[in-house]
Structure 1
Amino acid sequence: MGFEGMKKLKPLLHLLLPLCVHWIAEEMTVSVLVDVTTGALCPGKTTCSEAIYINGVQQTVVGIFKMIVLPILGQLADEYGRKPLLILTVSTTIIPFGLLTINKSREMVYAYYVLRTISYIISQGSIFCISVAYAADVVDVSSRAAVFSWITGLFSASHVLGNVLARFLPVGYIFQVSIGLLIFVPVYMTLFLEETVSPKTEVTRSSTLKSNTLKIVQERYNSMRYAANLVTSSPTLKCISLVSFFYELGMSGISGVLLYYLKSAFGFNKNQFSEILMMVGVGSIVSQIVVLPLINPLFGEKVILCLALLSSIAYAMLYGLAWAPWVPYLSASFGVIYILVKPSTYAVISKAALSADQGKAQGFVAGIQSVASLLSPIVMSPLTSWFLSRDAPFNCKGFSILCASLCMVVSLCYASTLKVEAPRERTFDEIAENIEAPLLT
């Protein structure tokens, strides 16, 4: 990216620093949660169908509500500012992790799942969407792909640091450290993060609760309809929506059951989980921060997206056919390439949307992805549990992951037809509906 590229990241310092801390705090708990939930729900066992089903139910509930919440949060970020929405979304993880800090009993694990589900509904996906919209406010179009790649690269770097902490910290201290970092993030954003959008101003009038409620519902409906029209009227946004839907359908299904599959099939524990996640994270840092900014001007987002999707297919098939404990490590190495799906997708969406529509476009496509994350556990959770049990029709513990790889194949087919086009200028009536514009340029 070079010195000039680094200078472009300077306005994003107070966004990226707290986000990195937030991601570290979340990631350091991932490898431990499998052991904590399995130990609480199925003491003394390596396979826990109850934990797999609860994760599936959680993913389904999150997907149902995210279909509505994500587009609305994107619209609100365009209308009322990025900063308050970011502070809200990063704050939601504090209470559920706080419960596990106090106690890791069966009852507390159930309470954690309930509150973490609410947290996922508000924060999962929306943090990235609003952050990408924030970056689009302060970075010119030609540099957005590189900047988005840096954001996802820092996400991977945060995962590596989180897994290093998880690998070497005692289990009893992991949640305590995580809570401290999670509290730091919203405090830092409140003090230092600068707003980039002029919030919508309204004249205060005395009115009834009923009229105010109807007005809010009408505004959300109009904004949602506008966002839907924005995506469906653009061939680029329509195509990338389909790409994102099928990719998320396969990948979210895999991620929801993968650690439980590895624990059951190969007896992996916290240490192996951390090693795999660290290995992927280190490679992803290089591919996103160094490689993508260099090759994007040469090949463009479409070629990079297709290569990343091809890598995700190989990733899924190797996991599904894993015949020895070393194969998951080989499969995880493909994460270095498939991780580029996200920044490429963000860049395509950003290029196809006007500045004042960044939050709406990113949020609407994220809402479409949430539909996929709703559907995948309905199939993946029972299918994975079935093939991990003694009642499996044939010996292929990763059969559900092989099925998920077919979704990535469909995504690749759609990506091959993608045409990245600039957005059309809006009419006067459309502009009147969305008069907010970025303050920082």
Structure 2
Amino acid sequence: MKLDKRFIIIFIILVTEVLGFSLVLPFLPFMAQDLGASPFQVGLILSVFSVFQFVSAPIMGKLSDSYGRRPLLLFSQLSTFIGFIILGFSKSLWMIILSRIVDGLLGSNFSIAQAYLSDISSKKNRSKTFGLSGAAFGFGFMIGPAIGGLLSRFGYGLPSFVAALMALITILTTFFFLPETIKRKRKMNLKIEILKFSDFKSYLLDSKVAGKLRLFFSYVLSHAIWVSSFAMFAERQLGFNAVQVGYLLTFIGLVSIILRGFLLGKIIDLIGERNSQITGLAMVVLSMLGVSFAKDFYSALFFIGFFALGSGLLRPLLMASISKSVSPKKQGEVMGFTNSLGSLSQIIGPLLGGYLIANFFPGSLGLAAGLVMIIGILTTLKGKKISLSGKINPR
């Protein structure tokens, strides 16, 4: 698959979207606690973004199916830009919450960008396409915590303004260089079509995609429990500050880039998709359980690296298989729904993580995340044997 300018632009858009949550992870818990928030209230603040993403992602995705990807991408990027500006000027908890609402409600870049990727790739190459988009996720998760952690030493506003600048660059790049992929746009009745939640129910009952959605949900929920409250875990169990938290989270992104961008296809060619999936699942579970007992920087680094490898194998396979389970006309809708499931997990995850940190020992965070993943695997296997269609080709 040739990397044309469209993929490069979408890569940048995806990176900026990931920055929406990865950049704030190292410092937002400390920032909110400095303003008087409890660990559970920190979880609430982190959940606000995902609450509104849960509502908006399928709507924005379905709108893009009818009115085109490009105008919806521009609109969502503008909202991300405004959200970061508000966060940069935040001096109270309500301003932080407002910034997360603005970005979450209207800044649903991810579902639209993934639908765009589906538009420009064949079914044969779609798994590889989503593997490379996974590299964008990894890159965003690498530079986000690095920016957030390091620049927060000079004030919490600076990393937010840097992220706003990056969002502005994506707006200009999309406006001047990104072509539209939906050639025949059609009007739709918003009240009837967009809010037709029976469409979502049909996905959950569809044997072709339901099992993949269940597994995806359990994965992103366990990920959200662990990552969202990791800063508070690291502060209490390891004695870390925002900069050190940023280093560890940056390491996750670095490993993800290397794996998803360069090694994913080769690994699957070597051991097969089924074994790659089993390996990824096992690594995610074991790393989440293991990090609960980490006592220093290096033991935490080991388990975090283990998690990044497992996650790098698992996520792109799931996204690609979900995409290939529906028709081309439904790509925006199913990607929006999938990202809404991700947002739902990121609503529950920070709340549960904050509650665990506030009421139990710090290591309960990883134990709970690992347990959720195990339950998800068992539920999926009971409902239907997992199958992934297609082959991920090496780069």
TM over 0.5: yes
Q: 1:197 aligns with which of 175, 182, 195?
A: 182
1:360 match = 333
Matches within 5 A, 1:205-354: 215-222=189-196, 224-229=197-202, 231-232=203-204, 234-297=206-269, 301-334=273-306, 335-354=308-327
**Post-superposition shift, 1:322?**
2.1
2:125 match = 143
Distance 1:31 1:64 in 2: 21
8 A contact 2:204–2:213 mirrored in 1: no
Distance 2:274 2:173 in 1: 37
In structure 2, do the counterparts of structure 1 residues 256 and 138 end up closer, same or farther at CA, with 3 Å as the change threshold? Answer: same
2:26 match = 31
Distance 2:207 2:331 in 1: 16
Distance 2:159 2:47 in 1: 28
Structure 2: which 5+ runs fail to align?
Answer: 391-395
Quick check: 1:418 aligned with 2:378? no
1:206 match = none
- Deviation string, structure 1 residues 88-124 (Cα, Å, up to 9, x no partner): 222223233323433x53x2x431223313422443x
Distance 1:312 1:155 in 2: 17
**Post-superposition shift, 1:237?**
0.6
8 A contact 1:80–1:198 mirrored in 2: no
8 A contact 2:287–2:303 mirrored in 1: yes
SS in 1 for 2:326: coil
SS in 2 for 1:340: helix
Quick check: 1:98 aligned with 2:104? no
1:435 match = none
Q: TM-score, normalised by structure 2?
A: 0.86
Give the AA of the match of 1:34. Answer: P
8 A contact 1:25–1:181 mirrored in 2: no
SS in 2 for 1:383: helix
Give the AA of the match of 2:315. Answer: K
Bigger shift: residues 314-323 or 24-33: 24-33
Distance 1:74 1:253 in 2: 26
In structure 2, do the counterparts of structure 1 residues 28 and 245 end up closer, same or farther at CA, with 3 Å as the change threshold? Answer: closer
8 A contact 2:232–2:357 mirrored in 1: no
In structure 2, do the counterparts of structure 1 residues 293 and 382 end up closer, same or farther at CA, with 3 Å as the change threshold? Answer: same
8 A contact 2:220–2:345 mirrored in 1: yes
- Deviation string, structure 1 residues 337-368 (Cα, Å, up to 9, x no partner): 22332211111111111111111122223223
2:173 match = 188
8 A contact 1:310–1:412 mirrored in 2: no
Quick check: 1:57 aligned with 2:41? no
Bigger shift: residues 406-415 or 331-340: 406-415
**Post-superposition shift, 1:402?**
0.5
SS in 1 for 2:27: helix
SS in 1 for 2:182: coil
SS in 2 for 1:339: helix
- Deviation string, structure 1 residues 160-219 (Cα, Å, up to 9, x no partner): 3344445654524433323222222222212221111135345xxxxxxxxx9xx43122
8 A contact 1:302–1:344 mirrored in 2: no
SS in 1 for 2:294: coil
**Post-superposition shift, 1:309?**
2.0
**Post-superposition shift, 1:299?**
5.2
**Post-superposition shift, 1:235?**
1.5
**Post-superposition shift, 1:259?**
0.8
**Post-superposition shift, 1:374?**
3.2
Distance 1:260 1:314 in 2: 21
**Post-superposition shift, 1:72?**
1.9
In structure 2, do the counterparts of structure 1 residues 333 and 296 end up closer, same or farther at CA, with 3 Å as the change threshold? Answer: same
Bigger shift: residues 133-142 or 159-168: 159-168
Q: 2:99 aligns with which of 115, 134, 149?
A: 115
In structure 2, do the counterparts of structure 1 residues 378 and 361 end up closer, same or farther at CA, with 3 Å as the change threshold? Answer: same
**Post-superposition shift, 1:418?**
0.9
Distance 1:66 1:166 in 2: 21
In structure 2, do the counterparts of structure 1 residues 342 and 89 end up closer, same or farther at CA, with 3 Å as the change threshold? Answer: farther
8 A contact 1:149–1:343 mirrored in 2: yes
8 A contact 2:285–2:373 mirrored in 1: yes
8 A contact 2:229–2:354 mirrored in 1: yes
In structure 2, do the counterparts of structure 1 residues 174 and 303 end up closer, same or farther at CA, with 3 Å as the change threshold? Answer: same
Aligned residues: 383
**Post-superposition shift, 1:377?**
4.0
Distance 2:333 2:8 in 1: 24
Distance 1:177 1:135 in 2: 27
2:60 match = 73
1:129 match = 111
8 A contact 2:51–2:104 mirrored in 1: no
1:175 match = 160
Q: TM-score, normalised by structure 1?
A: 0.78
Q: 1:398 aligns with which of 363, 371, 374?
A: 363
**Post-superposition shift, 1:9?**
4.4
Bigger shift: residues 409-418 or 133-142: 409-418
